Amino acid sequence: MEVIKNLDSVLRSFERGYDLYQSGVRDLDFEWFGCDRNGRLAIFATGVQLDAAPQIIDCREEYLAAVRWILALPARGQSVPSQPGLWFDYGSRGLCGYDVPQPRLGLSIYEREYLPSIPLGLDESSGQVRAYFERVRLDSDFFEDLLVVADPSQDELAKK
């Protein structure tokens, strides 16, 4: 099992990232987590160009509970394709991974980077962690190659 060195430092980094993002800072690579319509979990990296799902705002404690839970998960499979360069292999813990955002027409479009060989499901979480994932449940299927995370204010653009 992969052990995270300096776990407190890693958690502080997630805390700082969330606080900066919530305060309106958008020129940072922010990692957030979501749940798809089938209950599978994923991690997203915003890059410096895109917004995260608006549902993550004002749920700091739930977000940080989800981070702690995810970082403590044991490996349960592999990333497909393998992601040896990641500082922490989320795919081996069951999360789909989305990155390399491509902004278009006010929409946030994420490209899938890897799939887990054994997906992590919402039903495996509880308490604050489950509350976070229920709040950030997207009407998408994480096994799609591209995923649109639309700002509700951009719904008309999403329909075009």
Percentage, residues of the chain above pLDDT 70: 74
Between CA 127 and CA 131 the distance in angstroms is 6
What digits encode the pLDDT tens for the residues 85-109? 565 678 889 999 887 655 555 556 7
pLDDT in tens, 38-52: 999 999 887 666 678
Return the domain boundaries, the chain: 7-159
pLDDT in tens, 105-133: 555 677 788 888 899 999 999 999 999 99
Which runs of E-coded beta strand occur in 21-143? 31-35, 41-45, 79-80, 96-99, 108-116
Q: Give dist(CA 156, CA 160) in Å, integer.
A: 7
pTM above 0.95, yes or no: no
Separation CA 139–CA 38 (nearest Å): 9
